[in-house]
């Protein structure tokens, strides 16, 4: 009996989505042919009192659990593995590197619908078409709705999808149902042929020398792993480099994966892909519903989608024939997942390229310091596009020293004059202020009381338009006080500048100009962002005011003036990365000015015009800027000169998180090799109280990655056993990006 089991391998090792660092063995479901068992199949298993959908991680002959105690799996969900070995390998790597349970990593890789107990059929868009009968039928003219519908269907070669029909008429369903009842139309799943033959809808641009060099170097490396760091100022034509290398890869019959920070913010990028290539694409963005997401995932998995574009989680899109990976704006923080499995999509993408032995392009106008250092050490190949492709000139950059300046709601006189100058001569101005709302706090002029959040160590922001005080950290809100709760005074004043308040000032200063505010508050409605961007692009709005939402890759053809209203925010902060971010931001927003035939100007308001970072930023000297920042990092031994992990804990009781972290430190000190890792803390988090919970953190730092991970591997099982671990919520963050 036992011999036979060994020969047949009937035990499945299943990764289930639970926070436990192990797989679980099951007997195969009853009535299953052992030949059908494969790693990568989904399977429903009993787990405690519930049933869970897990992934078969391996099929084995023997289990360390005695067979009498093994349970049967309930049933297989797939005939063919949903996850191929490449994707499974990637999930294994992610699980190990981020010290996160494998079952949860698989769950991260799969769209929600495919984590449910149902078959993975491609039941995406369907199209309505005429039947044979319908084609040869003449509809009586008085049924005009039906006639119109039949005519529309006759003209559409591949039928009409429901989305197309929605634009056609509001209640097409009624008409369609009567046509269907007559047997004139039918609904078919949209069949997409695998278009290995790539049709180009437009010719590529004639490349300039720098672009040509970049493309040639990447082309020469298409058959193997390599990381290309494409460093090009905004508007230098990085996208064209992507498009032309993609063309070759697609023509070789391979798929391309593109990761972008946020799709809603890069509609123009999508547009350019669609304009260039006539191939099926799977686009992942936050606007998709579960069904669409699963459909797109399966399109990529089946190989039908040749181009896969998406944000962070698309790095786990299954693809049978990957040939190239592109990470656009590689420095962007949104590539780092901030809860659950805290992976960096950029780093996972690099590992994925290595596993597949294919090239990866990291593109940015302001590469991360980590990537710069990797290119200096020849691990990445640096490709530079120093000039703008279309507009030949860099914008002129000026620092406006705010010391002793008269400020009108945060706007200096030189800035106000510049706005007049540009807008009056037909240009467009973009003002950048990274703080939404009206004012960051309310202050009592008589006793100094400020509007604190009850649940956080933070102020509540005044939102004038909606008449609310809101905490941007926990979302609490309430009506603003009419009198000071401390002393009863009625003299409560909004302190500081938010975008709402600046907008109000702009309306007063420029009453006859069209002003648009673009921040999270004005773009909450679905489609609002797209509309706002369209209006801005068309040149209709003359003054644009926005938060960092506007810093990303938009093309405003008419834009001639960019101003950063408050650059001092980022220069002085507890987080060692914030100066880097402010400098990157200045370089990114500056790239927006003077794109077409207009010369651009950039104004940066600051109280510290002598600050070295600002000096480099206005000279648009990113190499010098990054050298300066790297030096700082080296002195302080921060990454990339060391490796970090952060153990965070939070609880409603203030003493608990610290207690847990202290216990964790005690565990660590007994582990061999712990002397090679520095444990900094525990300390209260910079914002200790947030959403009613107290937070503390312990930072682990080591010059060697292997030492850090070695310690953590031995340490986590011990932490999980700690009694104090049950009284807190804790999480481990490898390569943390955010020190809060
Ligand atoms: P980036 O992605 O670096 O911001 P883009 O690829 O969007 O830059 O290029 C900026 C502008 O320059 C676009 O309008 C693009 O059409 C144009 N452009 C890019 N490459 C060329 C080229 N070789 N010749 C002419 N125009 C170009
Ligand atoms: Zn008061
Ligand atoms: Zn709060």
Which DSSP symbol is given to 728?
S
Q: Is the distance from CB of 701 to CB of 647 less than 8 angstroms?
A: no
For residue 540, the model assigns a pLDDT of: 87
How far is it, in rounded angstroms, from Cα 245 to Cα 213?
12
Q: What is the pLDDT of residues 267-279, one digit of tens each?
A: 677 788 989 998 8
Q: What is the rounded distance in angstroms from the CA atom of residue 686 to the CA atom of residue 52? A: 39
**Beta strands, E only, 96-158:** 126-130
Alpha carbons 731 and 649: distance in angstroms, whole number: 7
Distance (Å) from CA 695 to ligand 2 centroid? 30
- When comparing pLDDT for 266 and 588, which is higher? 588
Identify the CATH homologous superfamily for domain 200-235+251-385: P-loop containing nucleotide triphosphate hydrolases (3.40.50.300)
Cis peptide before 640 (omega within 30 of 0): yes
DSSP character for 69? G
> Which amino acid residue places its CA nearest to atom 10 of ligand 1?
235
Q: How far is CA 572 from the centre of its chain?
A: 26
Closest alpha carbon to 315 in 287, 335, 342: 335
Instruction: Return d(Cα 620, Cα 386) in angstroms, integer.
Output: 11
Judged against a pLDDT cut of 70, whether residue 193 lies above it is answered with no
Residue 596's pLDDT band (boundaries 50, 70, 90)? Answer: low
pLDDT, position 392: 56
Average pLDDT over residues 374-392: 87
**In angstroms, what is the C-alpha Rg of the chain?**
29
> What is the Cα 192 distance to its own chain's centre?
28
Pocket test for ligand 1, best of 212, 231, 235, 556 (most atoms within 8 A of CB): 235
Higher pLDDT, 684 or 271: 684
CB 53 within 8 A of CB 279: no
- Mutate-to-test residue for ligand 1 from 232, 243, 273, 390, highest number of ligand atoms within 8 A of CB: 390
Average pLDDT over residues 710-719: 95
Fold of 2-115: GIY-YIG endonuclease (3.40.1440)
The environment of the single-atom ion ligand 3, i.e. residues with CB closer than 5 A, is: 453, 455-456, 471, 473-474, 476
Task: From residue 189, give the alpha-carbon distance in Å to each of 122, 125, 159, 414.
Answer: 9, 7, 10, 61
pLDDT over threshold 60, residue 6: no
**Angstrom distance (rounded) from CA 325 to CA 357:** 11
Measured CA to CA, the distance from residue 582 to residue 613 in angstroms comes to 9
Q: Which of 119-123, 215-219, 375-379, 518-522 has the lowest mean pLDDT?
A: 119-123
CATH topology classification for 396-435+497-633: Rossmann fold (3.40.50)
Residue 416 contacts residue 410 (beta carbons within 8 Å): no
Dihedrals φ, ψ of 652, to 5°? -75, -20
Residue 9: band (very low, low, confident or very high) from pLDDT cuts 50, 70, 90: confident
The reported pTM is 0.85
The rounded distance, in Å, linking the Cα atoms of 324 and 363 is: 13
Residues with CB under 5 A from ligand 2 (ion): 444, 446-447, 449, 484, 486-487, 489
643-734 CATH pick, 3.30.565.10, 3.30.70.600, 3.30.420.40, 3.40.640.10: 3.30.70.600
Query: Which atom, in ligand 1's list, is nearest to the CA of 240?
Result: 6
Q: Are 317 and 284 in contact (CB under 8 A)?
A: yes
Q: Coil, helix or strand for 308? A: strand
pLDDT tens, residue by residue, 492-517 = 999 989 999 999 999 999 999 999 99
Neighbours of 136 (CB within 10 A): 9
In this structure, the strands spanning 185-189 and 126-130 are antiparallel
Question: Is pLDDT of 595 > 60?
Answer: no
Whether the per-residue pLDDT at 310 is higher than 90: the answer is yes
Q: Please say if the pLDDT value at position 119 is more than 90.
A: no
Cα angle 511-517-523, degrees, rounded to a multiple of 5: 145
Atom of ligand 1 nearest to the CA of 211: 23
| DSSP letter, residue 548 | G
Cα 541 from Cα 684, distance rounded (Å): 45
Provide the CA 614 distance to its chain's centre, in angstroms.
Answer: 28
CB-based pocket (< 6 A), ligand 1: 205-208, 211, 232, 234-240, 389-390, 553
Q: What's the mean per-residue pLDDT of the chain?
A: 89
- Other beta carbons within 10 Å of 296: 24
The CA angle 168-169-175, to the nearest 5 degrees, is: 115
Answer yes or no: are the C-beta atoms of 448 and 539 closer than 8 Å: no
- Whole-number pLDDT of residue 10: 87
Q: Return the pLDDT at 330.
A: 95
């Amino acid at each position: 009996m036992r011999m036979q089991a060994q020969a047949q391998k009937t035990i499945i090792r299943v990764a289930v989505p639970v926070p436990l660092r192990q797989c679980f063995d099951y007997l195969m479901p009853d009535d299953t042919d052992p030949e059908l068992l494969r790693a990568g199949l989904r399977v429903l298993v009993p787990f405690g009192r519930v049933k869970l959908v897990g992934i078969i991680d391996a099929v084995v002959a023997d289990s360390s659990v005695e067979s009498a105690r093994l349970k049967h799996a309930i049933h297989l969900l797939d005939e063919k593995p949903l996850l191929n070995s490449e994707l499974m390998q990637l999930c294994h790597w992610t699980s190990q590197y981020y010290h996160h349970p494998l079952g949860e990593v698989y769950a991260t890789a799969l769209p929600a619908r495919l984590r449910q107990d149902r078959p993975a059929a491609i039941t995406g868009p369907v199209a309505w078409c005429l039947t044979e009968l319908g084609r040869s039928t003449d509809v009586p003219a008085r049924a005009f709705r039906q006639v119109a519908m039949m005519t529309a269907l006759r003209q559409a070669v591949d039928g009409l999808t429901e989305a197309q029909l929605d634009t056609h008429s509001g209640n097409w369903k009624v008409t369609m149902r009567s046509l269907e009842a007559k047997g004139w139309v039918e609904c078919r799943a949209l069949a997409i042929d695998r278009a290995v033959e790539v049709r180009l809808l437009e010719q590529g641009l004639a490349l300039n020398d720098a672009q040509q060099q970049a493309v040639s170097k990447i082309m020469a490396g298409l058959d193997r792993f390599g990381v290309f760091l494409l460093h090009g100022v905004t508007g230098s034509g990085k996208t064209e480099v992507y498009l032309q290398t993609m063309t070759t890869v697609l023509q070789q019959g391979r798929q391309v994966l593109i990761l972008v920070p946020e799709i809603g913010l890069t509609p123009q990028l999508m547009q350019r892909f669609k304009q260039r290539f006539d191939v099926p694409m799977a686009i992942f963005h936050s606007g998709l519903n579960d069904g669409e997401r699963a459909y797109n995932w399966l399109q990529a998995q089946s190989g039908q989608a040749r181009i896969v574009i998406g944000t962070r989680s698309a790095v786990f899109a299954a693809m049978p024939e990957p040939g190239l990976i592109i990470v656009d704006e590689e420095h962007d923080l949104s590539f780092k997942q901030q809860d659950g499995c805290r992976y960096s999509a950029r780093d996972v993408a690099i590992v994925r390229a290595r596993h597949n032995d294919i090239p990866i392009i990291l593109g940015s106008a302001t590469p991360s310091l980590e990537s710069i250092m990797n290119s200096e050490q020849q691990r990445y190949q640096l490709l530079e596009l120093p000039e703008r492709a279309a507009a030949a000139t860099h914008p002129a950059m000026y620092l406006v020293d705010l010391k002793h300046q008269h400020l009108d709601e945060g706007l200096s006189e030189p800035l106000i004059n510049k706005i007049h100058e540009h807008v009056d001569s037909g240009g467009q101005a973009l003002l950048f202020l990274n703080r939404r709302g009206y004012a960051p706090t309310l202050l009592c002029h008589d006793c100094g009381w400020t509007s604190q959040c009850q649940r956080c160590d933070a102020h509540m922001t005044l939102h004038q338009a909606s008449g609310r005080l809101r905490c941007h950290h926990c979302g609490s809100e309430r009506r603003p006080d009419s009198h000071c709760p401390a002393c009863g005074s009625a003299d409560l004043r909004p302190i500081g500048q938010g975008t709402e308040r600046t907008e109000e000032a702009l309306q007063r200063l420029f009453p006859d100009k069209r002003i648009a505010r673009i921040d999270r508050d004005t773009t909450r409605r679905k489609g609002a962002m797209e509309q706002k961007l369209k209006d801005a692009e068309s040149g209709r709005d003359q003054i644009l005011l926005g938060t960092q939402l506007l810093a990303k890759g938009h093309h405003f053809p008419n834009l001639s003036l960019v101003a950063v209203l408050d650059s001092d925010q980022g220069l002085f902060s507890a987080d060692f990365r914030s100066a880097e971010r402010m400098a990157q931001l200045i370089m990114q927003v500056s790239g927006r000015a003077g794109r077409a035939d207009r010369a651009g100007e950039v104004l940066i308001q600051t109280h510290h015009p002598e600050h070295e970072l600002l000096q480099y930023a206005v000279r648009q000297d990113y190499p010098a800027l990054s050298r300066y920042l790297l030096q700082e990092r080296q002195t302080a031994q921060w990454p990339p000169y060391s490796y970090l992990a952060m153990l965070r804990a939070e609880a409603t009781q203030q003493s608990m998180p610290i207690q847990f972290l202290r216990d964790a430190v005690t565990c660590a000190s007994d582990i061999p090799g712990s002397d090679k890792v520095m444990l900094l803390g525990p300390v209260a988090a910079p914002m200790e109280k947030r959403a009613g919970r107290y937070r503390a953190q312990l930072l682990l730092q080591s010059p060697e990655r292997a030492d850090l991970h070695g310690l953590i591997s031995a340490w986590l099982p011990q932490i999980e056993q700690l009694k104090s671990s049950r009284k807190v919520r804790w999480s481990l963050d490898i390569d943390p990006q955010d020190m809060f």
